[in-house]
Amino acid sequence: MYFPAPCPTCHWENRAEFADSSIHDLTCSRCGARYCVLLRKHKFEVLFDLGTRALMDGYAREAVASFAASLERFLEFYVRAFVLERSAGSGREFGEVAQTFEATWKHVVSQSERQIGMFALAYLLREGQEPEFLSARALGSDFRNRVIHRGYLPTREEVEGYAAQVFELIDRLLTRLGGAASQPEVLQEREFQRHLAALPDTVIAVFEEHPGMFRARRFGGPSPASAEFPKSQLKGAASKPAKALNDARNYQQALFRQALEERGEGLKRFKGK
């Protein structure tokens, strides 16, 4: 997948392929100028947007893999943010805490179930309550496994439902993180600075934050839809479970579609249209 990366020298619109590090060393295909695009966006955000683009382009099955990966990477993001937030004011150096986390995460990097376990503990310690949303149904695990591991060919409607489910969960947890979400951003900025320090002075650095779909990160608070949704339905405690489930799905779909519209408008502004 590519994104537009205009040359800062001649303004020719080059295309850059998303890099795992969010650091893109480029050479303009028109004037030959070297420049570096640093994308202020976390991996779970990039993956979710890639899933959205695949879905909108008609690749429903391929979109599921990106949405599922986005959720997994967000759980890692949450744990990292929690660890860094908890260490603030402890007297330990920020970089040291980050290195300790990375060394610890290596023990579970290839084991999704253990990563969920680390997230569950982090959520319990931070929020003081059980992460009731970690059930297989709430995570859409069966649908994801059918598509990714058993070759099921889903309809667009099914994928939209799964995407909406993942989006609502990430959006809600990101809102609960609040200011703690900025902790991993500090790590990203440090990586950017290390890379920039090694570049020749002739290379122009360009910082970009592409329009994303998570309003909690962009605007620093819950959306009106999030505020209006009954907590009893989120916990499945309504007197009519079938109705509560249907209401929850309708809510997720509405929130996801609203975010899609916002992303479309954001992309227009980003491209200057």
Mean pLDDT by 10 residues, the chain (273 residues): 93 96 97 96 93 92 96 97 90 92 96 95 96 89 95 95 93 91 92 96 90 54 39 41 54 69 50 39
Residue 195 placed within a domain: yes
Percent helix, strand and coil across the chain, each to the nearest 5: 65, 10, 25
Residue 26 placed within a domain: no
Q: Among all chains, which residue has been given the structure tokens 């809600």?
A: 172
Q: Checking DSSP bridges between strand 34-39 and strand 204-208, what pairing results, if any?
A: parallel
pLDDT at residue 229 in the model? 37
Domain count, the chain: 1
Residue 57 placed within a domain: yes
Residue 29 placed within a domain: no
Closest CA to 53 of 40, 66, 69: 66
pTM: 0.81
Contact between residue 66 and residue 51 where contact means Cβ atoms under 8 Å apart: yes
DSSP-based three-state secondary structure for 17: strand
Residue 99 placed within a domain: yes
Angstrom distance (rounded) from CA 245 to CA 110? 33
Residue 27 placed within a domain: no
Residue 143 placed within a domain: yes
- DSSP state at residue 221: S
Return all residues near 30 (Cβ < 8 A) that are at least 6 apart. 7, 10, 12, 14
> Could you list the residue range(s) of the whole structural domain that residue 108 is in?
40-267
Residue 21 placed within a domain: no
Angstrom distance (rounded) from CA 181 to CA 174? 7
